[in-house]
């Protein structure tokens, strides 16, 4: 059973299942947007200077995680915000 007290005393800790849920949806959103744009994995990689086709494949199939700089780069290549890629919606501050 999950001890919720840890979240009250340490609000910056995130349960690992929440992180896994976020990663799963990032891969799905990445693939969804890439296909909407009619891009292959190679085509998207060509738009992102430090990204390889194999990286995109691994992210879409959730075999690998994205770093913050890669999230920003992929979001730009897809024409979306990092917020959308991470959370599926635009975040208004």
Task: Specify if 93 maps to a domain.
Answer: no
> Where residue 87 falls among pLDDT bands split at 50, 70, 90?
confident
Tokens of 73: 């780069």
C-alpha 42, offset from chain centre: 18
| 62: in domain | yes
Helix (H, G, I), strand (E, B) or coil at 78: helix
- 61: CATH: 1.10.260.40
Residue 44 lies in a domain: yes
User: What pLDDT sits at residue 93?
Assistant: 55
The number of folded domains in the chain is 1
Which distant-in-sequence residues (6+ apart) come within 8 Å of 3 by Cβ?
none
Is residue 56 within 8 Å of residue 44, measured between CB atoms?
A: yes
In a domain, 2, yes or no: no
> pLDDT digits over 6-61, tens only?
444 544 444 444 555 555 589 999 999 999 999 999 999 999 999 999 999 999 99
Return d(Cα 47, Cα 77) in angstroms, integer: 6
pLDDT digits (tens, 9 = 90+) for 53-84: 999 999 999 899 889 999 999 999 999 999 99
Domain that holds residue 37: 11-87
């Amino acid at each position: 059973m999950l001890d919720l007290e840890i979240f009250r005393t340490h609000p910056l800790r995130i349960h690992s299942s929440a992180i896994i849920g976020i990663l799963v949806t990032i891969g799905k959103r990445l693939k969804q947007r890439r296909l909407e744009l009619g891009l292959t994995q190679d085509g998207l990689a060509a738009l992102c200077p430090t990204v390889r086709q194999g990286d995109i494949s691994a992210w879409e199939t959730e075999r690998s995680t994205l770093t913050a700089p890669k999230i920003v780069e992929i979001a730009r290549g897809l024409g979306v915000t990092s917020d959308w890629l991470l959370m599926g919606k635009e975040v208004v501050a």
